[in-house]
Amino acid sequence: MQTIKESLINIINPSNGEVLSEIKPSSTSEIIEKIQKAKTAFPLWSSLSFEKRITYLQKIYELIIRDRRDIATTISKNNGKPLTESYLTEIASTLQVMEYHIKNGAELLSEKNIHLGVLYPAKKSFISYVPYGTIGIIEPWNYPFYLPFSAITKTLLGGNTFVFKSASAVSVVGKLIEKICLKAELPDGVANFIYGDGSAAETLINSEIDKVVFTGSAEVGKKIAEVCGKKLLPVSLELGGKDPAIVFKNCNLDYACGGILWGALSNSGQACASIERVYVQSEIYAEFLEKITNMAKNLKVGDPFDDETDIGPLINEEQVKKIEGHILDAIDKGAILHCGGKRLSTSGFYFEPAILSNVNHSMKVMKEETFGPVIPVMKFDSVEEAVYLANDTHYGLAASIWTSETGNIKKIAGKLNSGTVWVNDSLFLQAHPKCPWQGYKDSGYGSCSIYDFVRVKHISLDQGYIPSLHPKSFWWYPYKGKARSFHALIEVIFKDGIKEKAKATFQTIIDFLR
């Protein structure tokens, strides 16, 4: 893991355990200075037109396309994921988010008219979107390029300035993001970067910023929510998951096994939306176990830069020990290990993917977020049992259902306590900017959409104000004699029948003109 020693952060290469780089952490005074710079730059940046802000985002977009080889290399060195995943889940996902907001951002944040209906012919209402100010962005190590740039894109488009802190383990990627923003020549103070451990994040959260955007563990997210809650500081939390997959007997078994394998093991299982629990209908349970075990055995764990590698190393030693602990706990309580489950190298953090059966909900591997290449498989008999087991968790980020009969699937999906439910897929459209990404329960709150990065302002305009005709609205003071008018008005508006409405309307007009 990374170590902070003698005022330097030692960034470790997960592939070999060697020091990749040394980075100086930001001091408290430097962090406060960066926050002040961001707040000073806010008036200018927020006053720019959408077109001008989008021009800067376009520069970043083009830089990422141009430098994608170097970016992918840096991500794989610092994070350990295979080069293919650096291109697919980091760079392509980032460009997809940026492209969408570059093309649609001005329309998404344009002023919207509210139609109030025939009862208010003289009233007009509008919704506009205004920036928060300075946003503190804190992102994790598992997707160190995509997650920051997704938040940065929406932050800048919304007219905010920001202070970004990357996870200390991936500070090299953080420096790369800073370099890209510098090349894009954003106005001074708009984009600010700090480095360090949890104390740097604590300083940021306790400062005079205007909103916090955090992605990470539920444990840390709850602490951040507590701090923000005390001062009513807006916060968006995208937290962890213990995502279930439900496999019905009518599924295409080869397809389901392939999809679950990728959904569970992509990025070495280090994704908040990784499949971490698999529930298989009892009729196909044995066959499913045999197929997915054989598939897992055929995956290549190794050097992220080897074109044949499917699974790279874990991020650090701490993660290796956590996964080992979950597997040992399961075996001690009766689970059967079908393959893998052990470390492959002492010079890096490589770990063989594990398939476990005979598991139950007393085991850590079925209750706590494992965040590693482990697939525990449990059988079920009925739909009701599958839904109960899937919902038996503190988390509620995502779930997947695998079936060949999709006619009634929305009803089953609706019973799952998850922000996203995939049918016959997993980890797909998570990065699509049109799709909300939000969790239930301990998986956090906030939709990760552009509207999480702006405030909503309502403006109401009375166009029928004619002082010479009627100097005030009839519901204003004094109330004398108006109870009868409102009594009649309720009939005009809400009662059925032309005769009753006409009578009430006549009485209301008479009272109004008095």
Q: Which among 139, 238, 368, 369 is annotated as catalytic?
A: 238
Residue in the structure block whose two tokens are 């020693």 = 5
Ranges of H-type helices in 440-481: none
3 state DSSP class of 314: coil
Give residue 33's identity as a one-letter amino acid code.
E
Rg (CA), the chain: 28
Q: Minimal CA–CA distance to 374: which of 384, 383, 364, 382?
A: 364
| Phi-psi group of 339: left, alpha or beta (phi > 0 → left; psi -120 to 50 → alpha; rest → beta) | beta
Residue 409 in tokens: 């699937």
Q: Residue holding tokens 């209906």? A: 117
On whether the CB atoms of residues 193 and 173 are closer than 8 A, the answer is no
> Could you say which DSSP state residue 346 is in?
S
The H or E element spanning position 228 is helix 218-230
Parallel, antiparallel or unpaired: strands 134-138 and 161-165: parallel
Task: Please tell me which residue in 181, 272, 339, 448 is annotated as part of the active site.
Answer: 272
Beta bridge partners, 351, equal 343
The 10 Å Cβ neighbour count of residue 84 is 15
| CA proximity to 241, closest of 361, 393, 138 | 393
Separation between Cα atoms, residue 175 and residue 315, nearest integer Å = 18
327 class by beta-carbon count within 10 Å (0-12 exposed, 13-18 middle, 19+ buried): buried
* Neighbour count for residue 56 (Cβ, 10 Å): 20
Separation between Cα atoms, residue 110 and residue 158, nearest integer Å: 11
Identify whether 238 is a catalytic site residue: yes
Name the 3-class secondary structure at 419.
coil
DSSP labels for 140-176? -SSSTTHHHHHHHHHHHHTT-EEEEE--GGGHHHHHH
Q: Which of 368, 403, 369, 411 is nearest to 387 (CA)?
A: 411
Q: Per DSSP, what are the bridge partners of residue 3?
A: 10
* Residue 272 a catalytic site member: yes
Give, in order, the Cα–Cα distances in Å from 385 to each of 38, 283, 356, 367, 388: 52, 14, 20, 17, 5
Q: Could you give the residue numbers annotated as active site?
A: 238, 272
